[in-house]
Amino acid sequence: MSAFRDRYSFPALVRHAISGHKRWKPAIRHPEPKPRYDAIVVGGGGHGLATAYYLAKLHGLTNVAVLERGWIGGGNTGRNTTIVRSNYLLEPNAHFYEHSLKLWEGLSADLNFNVMFSQRSVINTCHTPGEMEATMRRYNALRLYGIDAEFLDRAALARRVPDMNLGRDARWPILGALSQPRGGVARHDAVAWGFARGADNRGVDIIQNCEVTGFQRGADGRVTGVLTTRGPIASDKVGVAVAGHSGHVMGLAGMRLPIESHLLQAFVSEPVKPFLDVVVSTGALHFYISQTDKGEVLLGGGLDGYNSYGQRGTMPNIHEVTAAAIEMFPNISRLKWMRQWAGVMDMTMDGSPIIGKTPIPGLFFDGGWCYGGFKATPASGWCFAHTIATGEPHPLNAAFTLDRFGRSAVIDEKGAGPYPKAH
């Protein structure tokens, strides 16, 4: 195990300031791949890196490699709108995401890396009597699970979010809202870097520019390693966490997944003075808005609606999301959009993820994160590491099996049916 280098602290900052900040060691190593590892994780996004971190930290597996075809955090981890919450209705989701939220609450201290987790409240607005009833049901379920939740009437909402258009004559009048005060946002790059540094410090090899192009199999069909652009690498345990590329990579092992790849966009405005200190999202209008620490207004919405691996979005979606956001926040109508981007989303048929074993011995899969994978990052890594290390799922991910679709045991949070675009 490599020595812990440069523990970040106030005394370290002072010490390095005296030497002109020239002696900081690199946060991670850039090793050459070894011929064999005890476990390989494919995908250097937040989930793959968190998996490696918890494999080393909690299960003592340090002869581990993370193989990333580009650079760490360059996928959806570095492209999302960073909303973290655990206010889910269905039990498997609620307990899993609440575990994740608890890990988020201690993550900066655990990683010795500031992931800038800001618990500023996530507020979901309701626009119809039906939505009010469904939201009240979710509120009651959350209270029963012991998860924090508040129901805000219009007066409370006006106090909490003064710039929100609460006019009765609005196109989609707001009737009330569900708030999760412990929800919030985090710095997405820092999550990837923090987990990478924590894993590297424990001896994990993080190998970038190394694409997995195939799987090696034994005579009995068991996975014995991977083929990569930097040569073959042997291991009896391979975990795949490649988000939007799940269908392609698992296809290399001959598996067809109940997952489609879709585009999801986000965009930010020019920076303005602080006016919004909560995250607001609306299911009826389908957009979510927050203000970044730099002052930019950050917006996201629904999928573009067609299958793609392109990391660019199209104009109609930008138009639709902007129009809806201006309706609710008229004060942003004259802002200029500064940047726009998209990520490739791994959409399952019921909107919930898959974390577990596959029918191929030695091959494990983590994916199908739909809109919700960033908030899941710590718990996903935690559960996937447990599954890879022990060969069995943890109770928290026991329901997220691949075979649930064949057993009609779907976890359909939205009740939208088998339509990945609708979740």
Q: Footprint of ligand FAD on this chain (CB under 6 A)? A: 42-48, 67-70, 74-77, 79-83, 211-212, 241-243, 245, 249, 264-266, 300, 343, 345, 369, 371-375
Q: At closest approach, how far in Å is the CB of 403 from ligand FAD?
A: 21
Pick 239 or 362: Cβ nearer ligand FAD: 239
Beta strands in 330-391 (DSSP E): 337-348, 354-357, 363-367
Q: Per this entry, what is the length of the chain?
A: 423
Q: At closest approach, how far in Å is the CB of 67 from ligand FAD?
A: 5
Query: How crowded is residue 416: how many other Cβ atoms within 10 Å of its Cβ?
Result: 14
Beta bridge partners of 171: none
Pick 364 or 371: Cβ nearer ligand FAD: 371
Closest by CA to 217, choosing from 207, 227, 208, 209, is 227
Q: Give the separation between CA 347 and CA 110, rounded to whole angstroms.
A: 31
Are 205 and 221 a contacting pair, CB within 8 Å?
no
Q: At closest approach, how far in Å is the CB of 299 from ligand FAD?
A: 10
Q: At closest approach, how far in Å is the CB of 296 from ligand FAD?
A: 14
Q: Pull the structure tokens for residue 200.
A: 């590297």
Phi, psi torsion values for 48, nearest 5 degrees: -65, -45
Q: Give the separation between CA 174 and CA 385, rounded to whole angstroms.
A: 42
Q: Pull the structure tokens for residue 240.
A: 């795949």
Pick 16 or 239: Cβ nearer ligand FAD: 239
Pick 57 or 79: Cβ nearer ligand FAD: 79
Q: Give the separation between CA 13 and CA 11, rounded to whole angstroms.
A: 5
Q: At closest approach, how far in Å is the CB of 28 from ligand FAD?
A: 15
Q: Give the separation between CA 5 and CA 36, rounded to whole angstroms.
A: 25
The DSSP-derived string for 19-67 is TTT--PPPSS--PPPPSB-SEEEE--SHHHHHHHHHHHHHH---SEEEE
Q: Pull the structure tokens for residue 393.
A: 């799922």
Pick 13 or 181: Cβ nearer ligand FAD: 181
Pick 69 or 202: Cβ nearer ligand FAD: 69
Q: Pull the structure tokens for residue 247.
A: 């269908």
Pick 68 or 260: Cβ nearer ligand FAD: 68
- Residue type at 360? I
Q: At closest approach, how far in Å is the CB of 212 from ligand FAD?
A: 4
Q: At closest approach, how far in Å is the CB of 347 from ligand FAD?
A: 10
Pick 9 or 307: Cβ nearer ligand FAD: 307
Q: At closest approach, how far in Å is the CB of 329 from ligand FAD?
A: 18
Are 389 and 61 a contacting pair, CB within 8 Å?
yes
CA distance from start to end of the chain: 43
Pick 135 or 281: Cβ nearer ligand FAD: 281
Q: At closest approach, how far in Å is the CB of 172 from ligand FAD?
A: 21
Q: At closest approach, how far in Å is the CB of 103 from ligand FAD?
A: 13
Sheet holding 233-234: strands in order across?
212-217, 223-228, 233-234
Helix 91-105 vs helix 129-145: crossing angle, to nearest 10: 70
Pick 80 or 269: Cβ nearer ligand FAD: 80
